[in-house]
């Protein structure tokens, strides 16, 4: 008897199998990747793509960076996991190196970005009770509208996205939402129960929304004046993505707590962390927080080498320099469907006028031409290439974007 998928292409068979046995919680582009090297991906049919997504910044170093792969292989020959029931010989080195990179005092390693956000929320609340004399179970954290901090039930409770929230309540109280980019609104929302302000320096999922210049520095001054914590979520914007090691450095607005992840794992493993001032980290005591895999030796070896590569290859500086090239090339495209091009470094959002076409249609046309990019909220196409991408690949991807836009949104004669 012939298997029902026998006549299908390898790509379609893989897509159908995933649809049958997986959950329908993503709408992937119709390409099945089999290999990745540097800034390129290769699908199961052997077609090559320029990667302009970087797995939402998890692949800042590109695919299979040889130094990070080497660190993983070396650590695999020694020790992979012991849990936090005992000490590991490289955990302390990781914590010291990451804290020093961020200009803070201590870090608590986790696995995913959402776990690191949850860690920050717990730290802010306990700090509010222990240090700010906020009544028990009454602490509030000020957040920004249109945020994206993850998908756990507590995080989606303060999301503005109805699709993220529908059917998952009830949600935890304790979050006050203000407009993103409006420092005055954030200050006006501070009350006697406020423990912290927590925002993304640039909102990625919202469409690479860059706040007004001075917003981050203003938040720093406001938090200092009111004696509350400032926490930045740099899971996507961190580790060179915006042209500095961390996005807050553009304004010298060092936070009290910093949430990182994605690129920290070098594109190989999930690694995240909450980094903070010592007084903030000291709210934790034994049994108050943890993770079996958080801080495991294998992840620590990979993350340490990832940080070294970022520094040794000056990838933040490369993001800044070639980010200007990317932005200039995009803004030189004269097409009425382009409403705006915004971003910082190697993180760009191109807003598409829905009268002409949807952003997903542009992504699909780019995919057919060998460039991987993804839309958000129907109207914005996001570009976030690996920081190691060659300038020639970058410019070719821009040319293909222009061709794809002309295909799906033909210019109308006046």
Catalytic residue numbers read: 148, 233, 262
Structure tokens given for 27: 């709408």
d(C-alpha 178, C-alpha 189), whole Å: 8
Structure tokens given for 276: 């903070």
In this structure, are residues 349 and 363 in contact, taking their beta carbons and an 8 Å threshold? no
Distance, CA of 312 to chain centre: 22
Structure tokens given for 218: 């203003």
Alpha helices in 4-152 (DSSP H): 10-21, 54-57, 66-76, 91-102, 113-131
Q: How far is CA 314 from CA 61, 245, 388, in A?
A: 11, 9, 10
Q: What is the DSSP letter of 323?
A: H
Tally of CA atoms within 13 A in the half-sphere of 85 that contains its CB? 4
In this structure, are residues 357 and 336 in contact, taking their beta carbons and an 8 Å threshold? no
Structure tokens given for 395: 């410019």
CA angle 251-117-315, nearest 5°?
Answer: 45
Return the H-helix or E-strand segment holding 106.
Answer: strand 106-110
């Amino acid at each position: 008897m012939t298997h029902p998928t026998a006549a299908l292409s390898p790509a379609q068979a893989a897509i159908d199998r995933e649809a049958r046995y997986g959950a329908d919680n993503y709408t992937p582009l119709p390409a099945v990747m089999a290999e990745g090297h540097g800034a390129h991906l290769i699908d199961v049919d052997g077609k090559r793509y320029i990667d302009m997504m970087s797995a939402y910044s998890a692949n800042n170093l590109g695919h299979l960076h040889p130094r990070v792969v080497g660190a993983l292989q070396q650590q695999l020959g020694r020790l992979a996991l012991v849990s936090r029931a005992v000490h590991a010989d490289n955990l302390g080195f990781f914590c010291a190196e990451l804290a020093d990179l961020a200009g803070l005092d201590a870090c608590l390693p986790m696995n995913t970005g959402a776990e690191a956000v949850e860690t920050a929320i717990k730290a802010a609340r306990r700090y509010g009770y222990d240090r700010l004399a906020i009544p028990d179970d009454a602490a509030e954290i000020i957040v920004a509208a249109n945020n994206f901090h993850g998908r756990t039930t507590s995080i989606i409770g303060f999301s503005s996205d109805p699709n993220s929230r529908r059917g998952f309540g009830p949600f935890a109280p304790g979050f006050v939402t203000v407009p993103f980019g409006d420092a005055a609104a954030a200050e006006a929302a501070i009350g006697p129960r406020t423990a912290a302000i927590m925002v993304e320096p640039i909102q990625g999922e919202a469409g690479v929304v860059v706040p007004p210049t001075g917003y981050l520095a203003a938040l720093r001054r406001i938090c200092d004046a009111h004696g509350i914590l400032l926490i930045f979520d740099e899971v996507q914007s961190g580790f060179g993505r915006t042209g500095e090691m961390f996005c807050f450095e553009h304004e010298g607005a060092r936070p009290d707590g910093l949430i990182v992840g994605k690129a920290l794992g070098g594109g190989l493993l999930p690694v995240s962390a909450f980094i903070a001032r010592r007084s903030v980290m000291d709210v934790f005591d034994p049994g108050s927080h943890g993770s079996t895999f958080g801080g495991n030796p294998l992840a620590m070896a990979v993350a340490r080498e990832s940080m070294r590569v970022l520094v040794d290859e000056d990838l933040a500086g490369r993001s800044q320099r070639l980010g200007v090239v990317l932005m200039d090339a995009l803004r030189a495209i004269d097409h009425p469907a382009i409403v705006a091009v915004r971003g910082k470094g190697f993180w760009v959002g191109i807003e598409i006028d829905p009268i002409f076409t949807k952003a997903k249609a542009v992504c699909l046309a780019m995919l057919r031409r060998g460039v991987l990019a993804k839309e958000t909220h129907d109207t914005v196409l996001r570009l976030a290439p690996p920081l190691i991408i060659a300038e020639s690949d970058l410019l070719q991807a821009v040319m293909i974007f222009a061709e794809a836009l002309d295909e799906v949104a033909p210019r109308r004669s006046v």
